[in-house]
C-alpha cells in the first residue's frame, strides 16, 4: 500500500486547530495523515479567560476537548514535545518519536513571569488560567485600594486584552458600588495604548479607558516588583494593593533548542510562513512577521488562524503538485468588550497599501453577540 503524506502539527491552539481542520476538510484520511500534538487535551478561546476573571464563566464551560479530533480522522497525541529534529524530520515527545513529511509549528508563546524579579511572589499573572479564580475572588473582596494592571514585556498576546480587562474590572467594581474607593492604574512600556493599531485607534482606546477613570501610564518599563510596589527602569515607584500583570512572552524552549529562533525572540517568518527548512512552516504566536517598517504582526488568535489556513492550503497544493500558492492576507478583527454589555471591534488589514490600516467600530450589543458567536463557531467547527 502506498504511504500517504504525513503532516505533523505542534500545538492545538488557534493556529494548530485551524490548519488541522483545513487540511482534513480538503483531503480525506486515505490521502493525508494528520497528527496534532499538544501537552494538554483542551482548547480555550483566549478571551474566555476574562470572563472567568469577572466571574461570568467557569473554566469547564469554556473549553473544547482535543480528543474530539480523532472523530475527524485527525490523530491527537497528548504529550509534551521535547525536541524537533529538523534534519531527520522527527519529533520526540516524552513517550515516542514521530516522523513527518510536513511540519507545522504552532506552539504559541510561553508566559515568563519569572523574568521579572519579585513578580511571582507579589502579583498575579492575568493570562494564566490557573490564577483567574483567585483573581476573581480578590476583585470581589476588594472594598478600596489600588489595582495595577501592568504590561511587563512586548510583544504580548492580544494587545487590547489588558484594556478590556480593565474595563471589565471597572464594571465589576461599579456593580458592587465600590468603584469610587478603588483606583485602577494601567502601566505600559509602550508610548501609546496600542502602538500596532496606529495613533488614531490608540487615542480612541485611551479616551475609552480614561472616560472610566482608568489611569493610563505610558512608557513604564518594569524593572522589578516588591511587596505592594512596582519599580520601573527609571526608578519611578508606584504602589498597588492588587497587581494583575501581563508577563513577558518568550518562545517555548524546544524552539530555541532546535535553532529556529534566538532567545528571547520568535521564529522569523514572511507571509508564506516558511522556515528555512523544506516543508517546515511556523504560524501564530511562536512567530514574528514584520509587516511594515519595524512593526510586527500582533500576537492574536485571528492571525494564527489565518496563517494556519494559508499554510494548510499550500501543503495541499504541494501534495497535489499544483502551482497555486497563497500568501497570508493579514486581515482580522479583535473584540474589545466595554463592560456595559457592548463591544467594539478593532478591524485590521496588516498588508493594506501603503501601510497597515486599523479601525475601531462603534460599541454595540450586536458586537458582543458576535464575540460570543466567534467563540461558539471555533469550538464547534474545530472540535
Ligand atoms: C486574555 C486573552 C484574551 C485574548 N483575546 C483575543 C481576541 O479577542 N482575539 C484574538 O484573536 N486573540 C485573542 N487572544 C490571543 C490568542 O489567544 C492567542 O494569540 C492565540 O491563542 C495564539 O494561537 P497559537 O496557535 O499561536 O498558540 P496557542 O493558542 O497558545 O496554542 C499553542 C499550543 O501549543 C501547545 N504547546 C506549546 N509547547 C508545547 C510542547 N512543548 N509540547 C506540546 N504542546 C505544546 C500549548 O499547550 C498550546 O495548546 C487573547 C489571549 C488572552 C490571554
- What HEC string does 62-75 produce? CEEEHHHHHHHCEE
Look-up: residue for cell 488560567? 129
C-alpha cell at 210: 480614561
Residue-level pLDDT at 333? 93
Ligand 1 atom with least separation from CA of 45: 17
Q: pLDDT digits over 149-197, tens only?
A: 999 999 999 999 999 999 999 999 999 999 999 999 999 999 999 998 9
Average pLDDT on 248-266 reads 98
Which domains are seen in the chain, by residue range? 6-109+251-325 (3.50.50.60), 113-248 (3.50.50.60)
* Residue (of 379, 364, 290) closest to 328 by Cα position: 290
Mean pLDDT of 318-330: 96
pLDDT digits (tens, 9 = 90+) for 269-311: 999 999 999 999 999 999 999 998 888 999 999 999 999 999 9
Residue 119 has pLDDT above 80, yes or no: yes
| Residue 38 CB less than 6 A away from ligand 1 | yes
Using alpha carbons only, how large is the chain's radius of gyration in Å?
Answer: 21
Q: 301: CA distance to ligand 1 center in Å? A: 7
pLDDT attached to residue 1:
56
Q: Which of 304, 307, 344, 348 has most ligand 1 atoms within 8 Å of its beta carbon, as the pocket-test mutant? A: 304
Q: What are phi and psi of 285, to 5 degrees?
A: -65, -20
Q: Is the CB of 49 under 6 A from ligand 1?
A: yes
The per-residue pLDDT for 294 is: 83
Among 70, 32, 118, 81, residue whose Cα is nearest residue 313: 32
Q: Ligand 1: which of 8, 65, 157 to mutate, judged by most atoms within 8 Å of the beta carbon?
A: 157
| 301 ligand 1 Cβ < 6 A | yes
Q: How many angstroms separate the alpha carbon of residue 108 from the centre of ligand 1?
A: 5
Contact 67, 90 (CB under 8 A): no
Mutate to test the pocket of ligand 1, among 22, 35, 38, 63 (most ligand atoms within 8 A of CB): 38
How many other CB atoms sit within 10 Å of the CB of residue 364?
15
Q: What is the mean pLDDT of the chain?
A: 97
* The ligand 1 atom nearest the CA atom of 300: 19
**Total-model pTM:** 0.97
| Side-by-side strand order, sheet with 124-125 | 124-125, 242-246, 145-151, 182-187, 214-217
DSSP per position, 128-161: -GGGHHHHHHHHHH--SEEEEEEE-SSS-BSTTH
Whether residue 264 is preceded by a cis peptide bond, meaning omega within 30 degrees of 0, is yes
Question: Is residue 218 very low, low, confident or very high in pLDDT (cuts 50, 70, 90)?
Answer: very high
Answer yes or no: is the C-beta of 335 below 6 A from any ligand 1 atom: yes
Consecutive H or E run containing 42:
strand 42-44
Query: What distances in angstroms separate CA 290 from CA 73, 264, 308, 341, one per listed residue?
Result: 35, 17, 17, 35
- Which residue lies with its CA nearest to atom 50 of ligand 1? 46
DSSP, collapsed to helix, strand or coil, labels residue 376 as helix
Q: Which residue in 37, 258, 148, 214 sits closest to 138, CA to CA?
A: 148
> What value, to the nearest 5°, has the Cα angle with vertex 186 and ends 184 and 192?
145
The protein residue whose alpha carbon is closest to atom 52 in ligand 1 is 46
Decide: 46 in ligand 1 pocket, CB within 6 A. Answer: yes
Cα–ligand 1 centroid distance for 298 (angstroms): 13
C-alpha 91 to ligand 1 mean position (Å): 21
Q: Residue 2: pLDDT above 80?
A: no
* pLDDT of 234 over the 60 cut: yes
CB 312 less than 6 A from any atom of ligand 1: no
Ligand 1 atom 19: residue of nearest CA: 300
Residue 339, ligand 1, Cβ within 6 A: no
Q: How far is the CA of 306 from the centre of ligand 1 (A)?
A: 14
Amino acid at each position: 500500500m502506498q504511504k500517504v503524506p504525513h503532516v505533523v502539527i505542534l500545538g492545538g491552539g488557534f493556529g494548530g486547530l485551524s490548519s488541522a481542520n483545513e487540511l482534513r476538510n480538503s483531503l480525506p484520511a486515505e490521502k493525508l495523515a494528520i497528527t496534532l500534538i499538544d501537552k494538554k487535551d483542551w482548547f480555550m478561546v483566549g478571551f474566555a479567560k476574562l470572563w472567568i476573571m469577572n466571574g461570568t464563566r467557569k473554566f469547564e464551560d469554556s473549553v473544547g476537548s482535543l480528543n474530539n479530533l480523532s472523530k475527524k480522522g485527525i490523530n491527537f497525541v497528548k504529550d509534551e514535545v521535547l525536541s524537533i529534529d529538523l534534519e531527520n524530520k522527527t519529533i520526540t515527545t516524552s513517550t515516542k518519536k514521530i516522523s513527518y513529511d510536513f511540519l507545522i509549528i504552532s506552539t504559541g508563546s510561553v508566559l515568563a513571569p519569572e523574568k521579572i524579579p519579585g513578580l511571582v511572589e507579589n502579583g498575579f499573572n492575568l493570562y494564566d488560567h490557573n490564577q483567574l479564580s483567585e483573581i476573581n475572588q480578590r476583585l470581589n473582596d476588594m472594598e478600596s485600594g489600588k489595582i495595577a494592571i501592568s504590561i511587563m514585556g512586548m510583544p504580548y498576546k492580544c494587545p487590547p486584552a489588558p484594556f478590556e480587562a480593565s474595563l471589565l474590572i471597572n464594571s465589576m467594581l461599579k456593580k458592587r458600588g465600590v468603584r469610587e474607593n478603588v483606583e485602577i492604574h494601567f502601566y505600559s512600556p509602550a508610548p501609546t495604548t496600542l502602538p500596532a493599531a496606529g495613533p488614531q485607534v490608540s487615542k480612541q482606546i485611551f479616551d475609552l479607558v480614561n472616560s472610566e477613570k482608568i489611569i493610563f501610564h505610558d512608557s513604564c518599563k518594569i524593572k522589578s516588583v516588591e511587596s505592594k510596589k512596582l519599580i520601573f527602569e527609571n526608578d519611578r515607584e508606584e504602589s498597588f494593593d492588587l497587581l494583575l500583570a501581563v508577563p513577558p512572552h518568550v518562545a517555548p524552549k524546544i524552539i530555541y533548542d532546535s535553532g529556529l529562533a534566538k532567545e528571547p525572540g520568535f521564529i522569523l517568518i514572511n507571509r508564506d510562513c516558511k522556515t528555512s527548512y523544506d516543508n517546515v512552516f511556523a504560524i501564530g504566536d511562536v512567530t514574528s512577521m514584520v509587516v511594515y517598517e519595524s512593526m510586527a504582526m500582533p500576537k492574536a488568535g485571528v492571525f494564527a488562524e489565518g496563517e494556519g489556513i494559508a499554510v494548510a492550503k499550500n501543503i495541499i497544493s504541494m501534495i497535489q503538485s499544483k502551482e497555486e500558492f497563497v500568501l497570508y492576507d493579514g486581515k482580522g478583527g479583535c473584540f474589545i468588550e466595554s463592560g456595559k454589555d457592548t463591544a467594539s471591534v478593532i478591524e485590521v488589514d496588516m498588508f493594506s497599501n501603503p501601510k497597515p490600516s486599523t479601525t475601531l467600530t462603534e460599541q454595540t450589543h450586536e458586537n458582543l453577540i458576535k464575540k460570543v458567536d466567534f467563540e461558539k463557531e471555533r469550538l464547534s467547527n474545530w472540535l
